[in-house]
Homo-oligomer: A and B are copies of this chain.
Amino acid sequence: MKLTILIHCPDQAGIIRSVTTFIHQQEGNIVYLDQHVDKQAGVFFMRLQSEFEKELPLDTFKKEFQNELANQFQMEWEVYLDGYKPKMAVFVSKYNHCLYDLLSRYNSGELSVDIPFILSNHKDLEYVAEQFNIPFYHVPVTKQNKAEAEDRQLALLQEHRVDFVVLARYMQIVSPKVINVYPQKIINIHHSFLPAFMGAKPYHAAFERGVKIIGATSHYVTADLDAGPIIEQDVAAVSHTHSVNDFIAKGRDLERIVLSRAVQLHVARKTMVYNNKTVIFS
């Protein structure tokens, strides 16, 4: 049995020793430990993986960890059993490049998730879902029906016990009604190097400004548009020889790779959020 534990708590002396001693008492062997202290905020973060020769009841482990450690150090913490494949829903609109990228990784086993469904406000990408034999739901969104559409989305997410949602160029603003049910569980890809060029048409804005580098940013969705905690960013060089369409074409490659890296980090439980920033463990 292998557990991954994520902890954050007010920084103080003795946390690492206490946690490692607790794991030892449970007859676990620590195979990974990384920690970080945000000195400004006075917060301690830790990610720890431990193997146990004996099968422990997870509930017992959780209760003892809470009583013997978490209460004392005021820890917020989570534990994950190795081997569980999280259920990932994918929301798309009309662009297929990020969707194809995710599905080909899923298909080859590179991305260790289950995909209960793909959802879109348009029918354009239904054929891609069919290529990969994944259920597809068409939920149109208009100004008028936005509330009902989001009710439908929430119903589907809950019915399929979805763990997290990937907005693979979904192109719609997700309202707090949905975000609040999946805090730090909705991953978006924005097609600029945030915080530059927030909002719509970032490639056009980048072209207009005459930048020499474009970027893409994957972040957890919060109520503030394009302002959530950044998980991953990458960039590519451009020059005066590139048109807006060249920016868009180069950007597709950035979007693919940045989104898939962010999803991989989330699935591997390597991300923690604090103060609208992320800690990304190695």
Contact = CB atoms under 8 A, between A and B. Distances in A.
Interface of A: 13-14, 16-17, 20-21, 23-24, 29-39, 96-97, 100-101, 104-105, 107-108, 110, 131-132, 193-197, 209-213, 215, 229-235, 237, 239-241, 243, 249, 252-253, 257, 260, 275-280, 282
A252 B34 contact: no
Contacts of A35: 32-34
B100 A104 contact: yes
Contacts of A16: 16, 20, 30, 33
8 contacts: A33-B35, A36-B240, A96-B108, A101-B104, A131-B132, A210-B276, A212-B280, A237-B237
Contacts of A132: 131
A277 B17 contact: no
Contacts of A110: 97, 249, 252
Contacts of A213: 193, 215, 233-235
A17 B13 contact: no
A243 B39 contact: yes
A277 B193 contact: no
A20 B35 CA distance: 13
A24 B16 CA distance: 10
Nearest to A130: B131
B277 A240 contact: yes
A270 to B, nearest CB: 11
Contacts of A243: 39
A82 to B, nearest CB: 16
Contacts of A195: 196-197, 209, 211
A278 B39 contact: no
Nearest to A24: B17
Contact of A257 (B210, B241, B253): B253
Nearest to A127: B107
A133 to B, nearest CB: 10
Contacts of A231: 212
Contacts of A107: 96, 100
